[in-house]
Amino acid sequence: MGKPTGFIEFQRELPKDRDALTRIGDWKEIHNHHDEAKLRTQGSRCMDCGVPFCHTGKLISGMASGCPINNLIPEFNDLVYKGLWQEALERLHRTNNFPEFTGRVCPAPCEGSCVVGISRPPVTIKNIEVSIIDKGWENGWVQPRPPARRTGKKVAVVGSGPAGLSAAAQLNYAGHNVTVFERDDRPGGLLMYGIPNMKLDKQEVVLRRIKLLEDEGVTFKCGVNVGQDLPVEKLRKDFDAVVVCTGATKPRDLTVDGRAAKGVHFAMEFLRANTKNLLDGKAPDATISAKGKDVVIIGGGDTGTDCVGTSLRHGCRSVTQVEIMAKSPLTRAKDNPWPEWPKTYKVDYGQEEAAAKFGADPRVYLTTATKVEADENGQVKAVHTVQVEWKKDEKGVFGPQKVPGTEKAMPAQLVLLAMGFLGPEQPLLESLGLERDPRSNVKAEHGKFTTNVPGVFAAGDCRRGQSLVVWAFNEGRGAARECDRYLMGRTELP
């Protein structure tokens, strides 16, 4: 695929992001774009590797290797190299309902398993993907495709995040009448309120695709908390099938003295309020503000990074990100071989911005919080930490052990907890009578997505636990396929 010698002739090249100190002054997307000539050159680096691993979508050592939705990556790279953009878009849409989302927020496990990446920097798959769909929107190639006929079957999708949207899109293509219920005031779930605007623009990207789904026949009902505003008995009576895509929204809490101090918030409280205020035309920091404050973020990952970037845009005085894990190596470790996801040191946009503003990466590693200290008014004023080392304790259990003499107090007037999620919220699952697995997720086999209740399916993080957006798309499409089979006795959905 591509130019046979392209990966030898050309180096990996990504467009430079907007200047870090400039972009923290607004909420616009951080990325710039390559011109067509450079994109075609990058597409030419996709080698004729014989057995491409980039689109396999396997779990290796518990991590994604290759694209979980099996994008036809060598094909669209070759088409971009040849300048056949409309054909590349058609290939991309065969497997991916929303490439403008994955092209912006997916961590690109496809690149981690790229064969070129064994000995050279991998192909810029993610950037090529987003360039294809952006060009498609710009040229009017992305148009509503309502189904030619309707089956008369009605399906309810509960939750409008990544899994819910992909399930709704696929079920609508199959001709069913799809209604998506969302308890928030806008559709999109994690895509709307869990990811900041500078990573994924809400008006120009998310709501644009929602509008297309509506034009294709999907109905969205926001502000409806199924199980409260809409009894599950009525839901089951009014619809022929239900697909549960509620996500894993129960956050992991910090169990230390002083947790109840004012100014300690879950990361999603902070991020959601910021985006909602921005969309409502209010000051983004009107609800929870980092302006002029020392911010301590406990936890890493994308959510921690998003808290860093958002705090900087509020105008924080300082920002520190506390991570209990060790700093990753610069190159693959021996126990992390290709085509596993490379667990290497990365500087994301938030850390880059913090370094530009304050002179250093905000992350401190091998450190855990031991106490939150409040002032006389109950307002947080410091976070006490200690360094840890990972080793076996006296019982032989491997874990973080505190290092005596490394205690420290960090000034903080705002503390954000970004320590991941424990699973789905339970009330709706209980009212539907759904069985749960030992991790409190809905019990439904991957590939079948059927629950213990006939006609009720589950997909996304509420089934598999907190995971990547692209896995949610995989599951939403899969649940739609099995739901269609249940309704019609057969299915043509992929």
Instruction: Judge contact between 68 and 56, C-beta under 8 A.
Output: no
Residues 314 and 24: their CA atoms lie apart, in Å, by 9
Which one-letter amino acid corresponds to residue 32? Answer: N
E runs forming strands in 273-340: 294-298, 318-322
Nearby residues of 247 by Cβ (< 8 Å), 6 or more positions away: 159, 161, 163, 189, 190, 424, 460, 461, 462
The residue type found at 188 is: G
Pull the structure tokens for residue 192.
């709307």
Radius of gyration in angstroms for the set of CA atoms belonging to the chain, rounded to a whole number: 23
Half-sphere exposure of 79 (CA within 13 A, CB side): 18
Residues whose CB falls within 8 Å of the CB of residue 24, separated by 6 or more in sequence, listed in order: 309, 312, 313, 353, 357
Cα–Cα distance for residue pair 490/494, rounded to 1 Å: 12
Contacts of 227-235 spanning 24+ positions with Cβ under 8 A: 227/427, 227/428, 227/431, 227/432, 229/183, 230/181, 232/428, 232/431, 232/432, 235/156, 235/158
Q: What pLDDT is stored for residue 186 in this prediction?
A: 98
| Average pLDDT per 10 consecutive residues for the chain, totaling 494 residues | 86 97 98 96 93 92 94 96 98 97 96 96 98 98 97 98 98 98 98 97 98 98 97 97 97 96 98 98 97 97 96 98 96 94 96 98 98 98 98 90 97 98 96 97 97 98 96 98 98 96
How many angstroms separate the CA atoms of 485 and 493, rounded? 9
Please state, in angstroms and rounded to a whole number, the distance separating the CA atoms of residues 351 and 4: 37
Which residues on adjacent β-strands are paired with residue 416? Answer: 265, 297
Q: Which residues contact 27 (CB under 8 A, 6 or more apart)?
A: 196, 197, 198, 278, 284, 313
In this prediction, residue 365 carries a pLDDT of 98
- The DSSP H or E segment spanning 462 is helix 461-464
Q: Select from 93, 145, 112 the least CA-distant residue to 494.
A: 93
Tell me what pLDDT residue 393 has.
Answer: 87
Whole-structure pTM value: 0.95
What are residue 315's phi and psi, to 5 degrees? 95, 45
pLDDT of residue 1: 59
Which domains are delineated in the chain?
Answer: 6-138 (1.10.1060.10), 154-249+422-488 (3.50.50.60), 253-419 (3.50.50.60)
Which DSSP letter does residue 120 get? Answer: S
The CA distance from 417 to 420, in Å, is 8
Structure token digits, residue 94: 């065969």
Beta strands in 202-312 (DSSP E): 219-222, 241-244, 250-251, 264-266, 294-298
